[in-house]
Amino acid sequence: MDLEDDTTVFATLKSFNSFISRPDPPQRLSEQAAAGAGLQMQYKRSMELLEAAEKLHSKNQYLQLDQEKRQMELSHKRARFELEKAASDSARDFEREVDRNQELLGRIKRLEEREAESAKSQSEQVEANRALRKKLEGLTQKLEERDSTLETANQTISALKDEIRELKQKIQNQDATISTQTLENQALEEQLDLQRRKYQEVSQLCQSLQSAQSSCSEHIIKIKELERRLALQEQDVVMVRTMKSEVARVPDMDKELRRLREDNAYLRESRENSSLLKEEVEGLRRKLERMERTKEELVNMELEKERLCEKLQAWENLGQSTGLNIRKPEDLSREVIQIQQREIALKEQNYTLTSRVRTVERSQSELQGELAQQRSKALEEQKKRESQDALVRRLQKRVLLLTKERDGMRSILESYDSELAPTEYSPQLTKRLREAEDILQKTQSHHAEMEVQLTKAQEETGALKLQLQTVELELESVKKQQASAAESNSLVTKEEVSTLRLKIEDLEAERQRLEEQNSILEMRLERHNLQGDYDPVKTQVLHFKMNPTSVAKQQRQQEVESLREEVIRLREHLRSLQDGGALVHAQDDSSMPGSSLCLSLPPSQEVLDLRKQMESSELRNQRLKEVFQRKIQEFRTVCYVLTGYQIDITTENQYRLTSVYAEHMDDSLLFKKGSSGSMQLMETEFSKTLGEMVALHLHHQKSIPAFLSAVTLDLFSRQTAV
């Protein structure tokens, strides 16, 4: 199929081949069957030729086909390549298209939604439109109604204008009548003048009459006066008579007077007495008060006395219990003082004794020291004595020795003397002897001296011993004394001391308590002092009489009093008004409800003044209004006459101009004042007919006065032409 599709040539060729090849076998069979060799040969040759030719041809064709095939392949490749390319492109395109499609689908959806929405809105709008149409129709109906009413109004306006015209005419007629009436008036005034003159004459006559009447009345008064005088005189006469009778009574009166004077004097005295008595009474009363007070005090005192008696009893009991002569606190204090004094004395004694003991001890110690010294001295002396004794013994021994020696020597010497010639050796020996004797004498003297010294020392030691003994005795005596003193002290005063000690402790405790109290009281006092308290015994508090506080208080008092008075006054006033004003209320409520209050309270001068001022100002206002109205009317008429236009203000910022020469009553021009002050012509029925002039004067020349003048001229010319 592909081949056929690709090339038509192949198709024809094959069909040809097939065409050729198909009838081949039967031919061959027929030829073989029928057969001739020649023919067969020829046929074979031709067939071979044909085959060769066909082979060549097919070769060619093959080559050609090969080439073609190559070309075809190439082109096929190319085409495939291109196709691939195209395929990829188309794939890409396809993708894009798919995307787009999706987008578009989305868009379509959105659009569908929108469409739905729009359809909804459309339907709504359609409904709204319908409603609006209905409204419009209603409005148009209303408008038409309005138009109709406007037209009716216009008609009424025109009718009214006609009426105004008629009224004007009537006014003119009335003016005429007024002028005639003024004429009549003048005539009447003249008549009035005449009447006045007549009246003056009459009044003069009246005056004369009055003067006559007044003189008459004066006369009458005089007469009356005279009559009164007469009556007075008659009274005088009566009085004189009475006086006479009284004068007759005068001496009696004098007597009485004297008596009365005496009485008076007596009464005066008695009054003085009475005043004295009063004073006395006062004094007595005071005394009584004092007495009462003293009585009260007495009672108090008695109570106190009883209390004190009880206390005293307690004290006495205490005194009895204690055994001391305590009857009163004074006694106690005296006793305490005595005890204290005794204690003090005892203390003093004690002190003196202790001091004495101390001195004695001191002296004892001194003496002991001395004793020791003395003992040591004695020992020394003894030692000395012993040494001296030893020395004496030695010396005695030596003396013995020496005497023995001397004796020996003397014997030797005597032997020598006997043996030898004394002449040779004797001087020498005698010398020696003498020397020895001297020495002996010296030693003997020394001995004696020593012995003397010894005795002296012994004497001394004896004296010292004596002293020592005396001192010891003294010491003992002192010790004894001391012991006795201590014993006596302890025996006598121990109890007293203990009681006194207790008392002292109590007193000390009390003292501490009192000190505390004192400090508390001092603190309190300080606090009170801070708060401004003072001791009335020592201090007085003064202040200036006219100090600001009292002045302010007085002022306040006065103010309060004045206010109170005012309140009372007002209350009374109110009461009187409530009583009397009820009738006035009843009368005035119907006619003047506002003035009832004014009537009830007499208006003060200020209120009256203010009312007057108000009235005058109101009057002035009224007058001003009238004047303004008149002036405005005048101004309007002048404008109407001069410009030929009547200007009316229909509504705010709208002015209607009606010409004098208007053909119809409702021919008018309507101007509106813009925000910038410029005037704009509004369309009316009349202005529609003035298209030309509007175009010329307003649009072209832009001048309203020119337009108005042109309109005036036009209307005027139309009227005159008619």
* Interface with another protein (CB under 8 A): 527, 529-534, 536-553, 556
Would you say 290 or 553 has its CB closer to another protein?
Answer: 553
Minimum distance of another protein from residue 559's CB (angstroms): 11
The rounded distance, in Å, linking the Cα atoms of 430 and 57 is 226
Please check whether residue 460 is in contact with residue 380, taking contact to mean a CB–CB distance below 8 angstroms: no
Minimum distance of another protein from residue 563's CB (angstroms): 15
Would you say 543 or 699 has its CB closer to another protein?
Answer: 543
Sheet with strand 679-682: strands edge to edge: 645-649, 654-659, 668-673, 679-682
Minimum distance of another protein from residue 538's CB (angstroms): 5
Please check whether residue 430 is in contact with residue 413, taking contact to mean a CB–CB distance below 8 angstroms: no
Question: Angle CA(619)–CA(624)–CA(627) in degrees, nearest 5?
Answer: 125
Would you say 530 or 721 has its CB closer to another protein?
Answer: 530
Please check whether residue 654 is in contact with residue 682, taking contact to mean a CB–CB distance below 8 angstroms: yes
Minimum distance of another protein from residue 297's CB (angstroms): 24
Minimum distance of another protein from residue 325's CB (angstroms): 44
Would you say 491 or 546 has its CB closer to another protein?
Answer: 546
Would you say 532 or 705 has its CB closer to another protein?
Answer: 532
Please check whether residue 423 is in contact with residue 378, taking contact to mean a CB–CB distance below 8 angstroms: no
Would you say 546 or 649 has its CB closer to another protein?
Answer: 546
Minimum distance of another protein from residue 567's CB (angstroms): 19
What six digits make up the tokens of 414?
A: 């005597």
Please check whether residue 319 is in contact with residue 327, taking contact to mean a CB–CB distance below 8 angstroms: yes
Please check whether residue 666 is in contact with residue 685, taking contact to mean a CB–CB distance below 8 angstroms: yes
Would you say 321 or 540 has its CB closer to another protein?
Answer: 540
Question: Angle CA(266)–CA(271)–CA(274) in degrees, nearest 5?
Answer: 125
Minimum distance of another protein from residue 544's CB (angstroms): 5
The rounded distance, in Å, linking the Cα atoms of 511 and 449 is 80
Would you say 549 or 605 has its CB closer to another protein?
Answer: 549
The rounded distance, in Å, linking the Cα atoms of 362 and 65 is 178
Minimum distance of another protein from residue 565's CB (angstroms): 21
Minimum distance of another protein from residue 549's CB (angstroms): 4
Minimum distance of another protein from residue 546's CB (angstroms): 7
Q: Over the Cα atoms of the chain, what is R_g?
A: 91
Minimum distance of another protein from residue 591's CB (angstroms): 49
Please check whether residue 654 is in contact with residue 671, taking contact to mean a CB–CB distance below 8 angstroms: yes
Minimum distance of another protein from residue 288's CB (angstroms): 28
Would you say 538 or 699 has its CB closer to another protein?
Answer: 538
Helix 250-322 with 329-419: angle, nearest 10 deg:
40
The rounded distance, in Å, linking the Cα atoms of 324 and 315 is 11
The residue assigned the tokens 């009778």 is 245
Would you say 438 or 533 has its CB closer to another protein?
Answer: 533
What six digits make up the tokens of 691?
A: 């298209």
Phi, psi of 620 (to 5 degrees): -65, -45
Please check whether residue 367 is in contact with residue 471, taking contact to mean a CB–CB distance below 8 angstroms: yes
The rounded distance, in Å, linking the Cα atoms of 260 and 633 is 100
Would you say 550 or 633 has its CB closer to another protein?
Answer: 550
Phi, psi of 646 (to 5 degrees): -95, 125
Q: What's 625's DSSP letter? A: H
Please check whether residue 307 is in contact with residue 323, taking contact to mean a CB–CB distance below 8 angstroms: no
Would you say 251 or 536 has its CB closer to another protein?
Answer: 536
Minimum distance of another protein from residue 526's CB (angstroms): 10
Minimum distance of another protein from residue 331's CB (angstroms): 37
Minimum distance of another protein from residue 523's CB (angstroms): 13
Would you say 390 or 551 has its CB closer to another protein?
Answer: 551
Q: Bridge-partner residues for 133, per DSSP? A: none
Please check whether residue 659 is in contact with residue 717, taking contact to mean a CB–CB distance below 8 angstroms: no
The rounded distance, in Å, linking the Cα atoms of 363 and 131 is 151
Minimum distance of another protein from residue 539's CB (angstroms): 5
The rounded distance, in Å, linking the Cα atoms of 577 and 584 is 10
The rounded distance, in Å, linking the Cα atoms of 470 and 131 is 164
Would you say 131 or 551 has its CB closer to another protein?
Answer: 551
Residues whose CB is less than 8 angstroms from the CB of residue 61 and which lie 6 or more positions away in sequence, other chains included: 13
Would you say 30 or 554 has its CB closer to another protein?
Answer: 554
The rounded distance, in Å, linking the Cα atoms of 706 and 457 is 185
Please check whether residue 659 is in contact with residue 644, taking contact to mean a CB–CB distance below 8 angstroms: yes
Would you say 501 or 556 has its CB closer to another protein?
Answer: 556
Residues whose CB is less than 8 angstroms from the CB of residue 478 and which lie 6 or more positions away in sequence, other chains included: 360, 364
Minimum distance of another protein from residue 298's CB (angstroms): 29
The residue assigned the tokens 């080439």 is 67
Minimum distance of another protein from residue 529's CB (angstroms): 8
| SS3 assignment for 274-305 | HHHHHHHHHHHHHHHHHHHHHHHHHHHHHHHH
For strand 679-682 and strand 654-659, is the pairing parallel, antiparallel, or unpaired? Answer: unpaired
Would you say 25 or 536 has its CB closer to another protein?
Answer: 536
What six digits make up the tokens of 139?
A: 């409005």
What six digits make up the tokens of 674?
A: 């813009």
The rounded distance, in Å, linking the Cα atoms of 291 and 154 is 119
Would you say 34 or 530 has its CB closer to another protein?
Answer: 530
Residues whose CB is less than 8 angstroms from the CB of residue 336 and which lie 6 or more positions away in sequence, other chains included: 503
